[in-house]
Amino acid sequence: MIALPGDMRVRLVTALILVVAISQLQTIPVAATVLAAAVTVAVMSGIGGKAWLRMLHVETFMILLFVTLPFTVPGRAVLTIGPFDASAEGFTRAAVIACKVSASVLTIVVFLGSVEAMRLGAALHSLRVPEPIVRLFVLTVRYLSVIGGEARRLQEAMRARAFRPGSNRHTWRSYGNLVGMLLVRALDRAQRVEEAMLCRGFSGRFPWQKPPRLSRSEMGFMALATTAAVLITAADRL
Amino acid sequence: MAHIPDGILSAPVLIGGAVIAAGGVAMALRRLEDRMVPRAAILSAAFFAGSLIAVPVGPSSVHLLFTGLMGVMLGLMAFPAVLVALLLQTVLFGFGGLTTLGVNTVNIALPGVLLGLALGPAIRAASPGRAAMLAAVCGALSVAGTGALVALSLWLSSPVFVPVAKIMLITYLPLALGEAAVTAAAVGFLSRVQPAALRLVAT
């Protein structure tokens, strides 16, 4: 088990530096090494089983990428299916992308997977992200759970009235009404929230807590991550 | 489908996307009144909650984007709203990525914002039936625009992605269909029940 820094700013900046470096790798030895390192760190920092499942979540076009790349990248043919030749270079390219995507997802899960979105807002603010964006972020996080609950209740009410979703106009219309209702209630709620905020003297800015200064070990950790990022980039290009 | 993960796109595409996204967000924030932020946030939470519903289309089911409707109701504020939603999805669910935040924001928000600007006034002025029809166009076109921009990002990153991009565009068809049908119904509902809701929230 290793303990990563708890400070959100450190986690955010470290994750960003590492993912930027990982996303631009081009050679398979470096990409594979980085993936192995990411898996090791993920195991040692004890991320949960649910977090590992995220790696399996491949978007539709990711699958397509792995199916088509061997055939579209020109190079030495190693496999022939009908009129199509799969090239060794194509397989390598697909493998590099797979390593990079997985290593990036793991990095994000390790550094940001267990954070509360609310704390992330404060970190974004102390990293000088424009204040209105941060305010939008924390309020969206806050009301997502409230409105998500409302959406669940509306869907339950539909099910209780024998609604069964299918690919037909009735379903689309019903879901459209659901979304419309959700928006009407959201606007009503926004009105109440605005009034409540004005009552309590909201002047257009939240009073953010002053963030603590970074400790020497936290600075050291970020320096270490930056060095790692520079090293893998150098190893990749040289 | 519209969330490109880290590790696929080239640096110029990532930087270009980030610059355009920053421009869009800055433009929205300059016109934003402070007291409109809670309203914009609660509406974007509602769109987020709506996009979590799995809508059956044909043999599969899709998660809608609602960007056309966001363009109509939020205008330029759809840029920061989408940016915030994408950051949340990256952190909470692991969809999308950190380096691709800018590109993904542009791909998803830009078509909706443009169509909202173009069709919004007509939708607000029309009768419920006509508004629903216009909203269907708005929804379908904004999804098509997003598909085209995702394909463009892949193509600009590397020509070897072109076949993937072409196949991927086909997968946007059911999404555009579902988006059109549900957006039409939602706008028809709002237009009948609370026409004031279709007004622009900010900007």
The residue among B7, B6, B9 whose CA lies nearest residue B165 is B9
The answer to whether B173 contacts chain A (CB < 8 Å) is: no
* pLDDT, tens digit (0-9, with 9 covering 90-100), for A59-115: 666 777 788 888 888 887 777 777 777 888 888 998 999 899 989 988 998 898 877
Q: pLDDT, tens digit, for every residue of B100-117?
A: 999 999 999 999 999 999
B residues 130-149 near A, CB within 8 Å?
Answer: none
Is the pLDDT assigned to residue B203 strictly greater than 50? no
Q: Which residue of chain B is at minimal alpha-carbon distance from A206?
A: B34
| Average confidence score pLDDT of chain A | 88
Residue type (1 letter), B152: L
Torsion of CA B88, B156, B169, A76, to 10 degrees: -110
Distance separating alpha carbons of residues B95 and B164, to the nearest angstrom: 19
**A182 CB burial (10 A radius; 0-12, 13-18, 19+):** buried
| A208: pLDDT strictly greater than 70 | yes
Distant-in-sequence, close-in-space partners of A20: CB < 8 Å, separation ≥ 6 = A229, B98, B99
Q: Across the strands, what pairs with B63? A: B54
Q: Do A167 and B5 touch (CB under 8 A)?
A: no
Question: A56 pLDDT exceeds 80?
Answer: no
The reply to whether B160 touches chain A by the CB within 8 Å rule is yes
Of A105, A137, A174, the CB nearest to B84: A137
Note the CATH number of domain B11-198.
1.10.1760.20
Measured CA to CA, the distance from residue B179 to residue A215 in angstroms comes to 49
What per-residue confidence (pLDDT) applies to A59?
60
Chain A residues close to B7, C-beta within 8 Å: 22-23, 25, 97, 100-101, 103-104
Other Cβ atoms less than 10 A from the Cβ of A63: the count is: 11
The CA-CA-CA angle for residues B77, B80, B81, to 5°, reads: 80
Tell me the pLDDT tens digit for each residue of B136-148. 999 999 999 999 9
Closest C-alpha to A60, from B59, B104, B169, B155: B169
Chain B partners within 8 Å of A48 (Cβ): none
Cross-chain CB nearest to A167 (options B11, B29, B56): B56
ipTM: 0.93
Q: pLDDT tens, A20-35?
A: 999 999 999 999 999 9
| CA distance to partner chain B, nearest, from residue A149 (Å) | 9
**If you average pLDDT over residues A7-22, what whole number do you get?**
94
**Alpha-carbon torsion (B5, B9, B13, B19), positive or negative:** positive
Using CA atoms in the order A222, A4, B102, B141, what is the torsion angle rounded to 10 degrees? 170
Taking a C-beta distance cutoff of 8 angstroms, is the pair B38, B150 a contact? no
Structure tokens at B189: 């509902």
Q: Tokens 């991009």 sit at which residue? A: B165
Instruction: Please answer yes or no on whether A151 and B52 come within 8 Å at the CB atom.
Output: yes
Contacts of B167 in chain A (CB under 8 A): 61, 64, 68
Q: Which residues pair with A86 in a beta bridge?
A: A79
Name the nearest CA neighbour of B43 among B19, B16, B67: B67
pLDDT band at residue B126 using 50, 70 and 90 as cut-offs: very high
What is residue A60's predicted lDDT score, i.e. its pLDDT?
63
The 3-state DSSP class for residue A202 equals coil
pLDDT for the residue numbered B199: 83
Q: Kindly list the residues from chain A whose CB atom is less than 8 angstroms away from the CB atom of residue B150.
A: 61
pLDDT at A63: 78
Least confident interval from A128-132, A171-175, B177-181:
A128-132
Q: Does the distance separating the beta carbons of A190 and B50 come in below 8 Å?
A: no
